[in-house]
């Protein structure tokens, strides 16, 4: 039984409420996005996105993500081929990043 069906999500699949998130949900969202397993490297990025959002109210840019998360840009795209910032935000249960960068 999927717990994903029990939480509110927008049309693009982002959680409506940040506080609904847990690691189990993260795994289900990842699988839905075509990422079968979340490795420690994935978690490093997802946690950084989520922590930054909770601390500052905005998700980091891809530039900052590559410099500060501990995972560089090349690897970010290897981990999240369909867009690291967008996917890590979705998996981390925070809103889609609003910036253009």
Partner 1 sequence: MSLDKVSIIVSKGSLEGVYPALIMANGARMEGIEANVFFTFFGMDAINKARHDAIKVATVGNPGLHLMTWLGGVPGISALVTKQMMKQMEKLDIPPIPEFLELISDSGGKLYACKASVEMFGLTKDDFIPQVESIITVGEFYQMAAGGQINFT
> Are the C-beta atoms of residues 84 and 62 closer than 8 Å to each other?
yes
Q: Is 61 in the site for partner 1 (CB under 8 A)?
A: yes
Identify the CA nearest to 93 among candidates 3, 48, 29, 34: 29
Where does this chain touch partner 1 (CB under 8 A) — which range of 9-17, 21-29, 48-56, 70-78? 70-78
Minimum Å gap between C-beta 2 and partner 1 is 24
Give Cα 22 to chain centroid, integer Å: 12
Q: Is 82 in the site for partner 1 (CB under 8 A)?
A: yes
Q: Which is nearer to partner 1, 70 or 99 (CB)?
A: 99
Interacting residue with partner 1 among 84, 88, 92, 94 (CB under 8 A): 84
Angle between helices 84-91 and 40-56 (to 10 degrees): 80
Q: Active-site residue 74, yes or no? A: no
Alpha helices in 13-95 (DSSP H): 23-32, 40-56, 62-68, 73-79, 84-91
Residues belonging to the active site:
100
Which residues lie near partner 1 (CB under 8 A)?
A: 61-64, 66, 72-74, 77, 81-86, 99-101
């Amino acid at each position: 039984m999927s717990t994903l069906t029990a939480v509110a999500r927008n049309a693009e699949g982002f959680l409506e409420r940040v506080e609904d998130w847990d690691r189990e949900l993260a795994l289900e969202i990842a699988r839905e996005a075509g990422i079968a397993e979340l490795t420690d490297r994935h978690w490093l990025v997802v946690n950084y996105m989520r922590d930054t959002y909770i601390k500052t109210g905005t998700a980091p840019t891809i530039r900052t993500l590559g410099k500060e998360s501990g995972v560089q840009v090349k690897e970010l795209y290897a981990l999240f081929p369909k867009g690291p910032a967008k996917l890590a935000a979705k998996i981390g249960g925070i809103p889609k990043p609003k910036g253009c960068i």
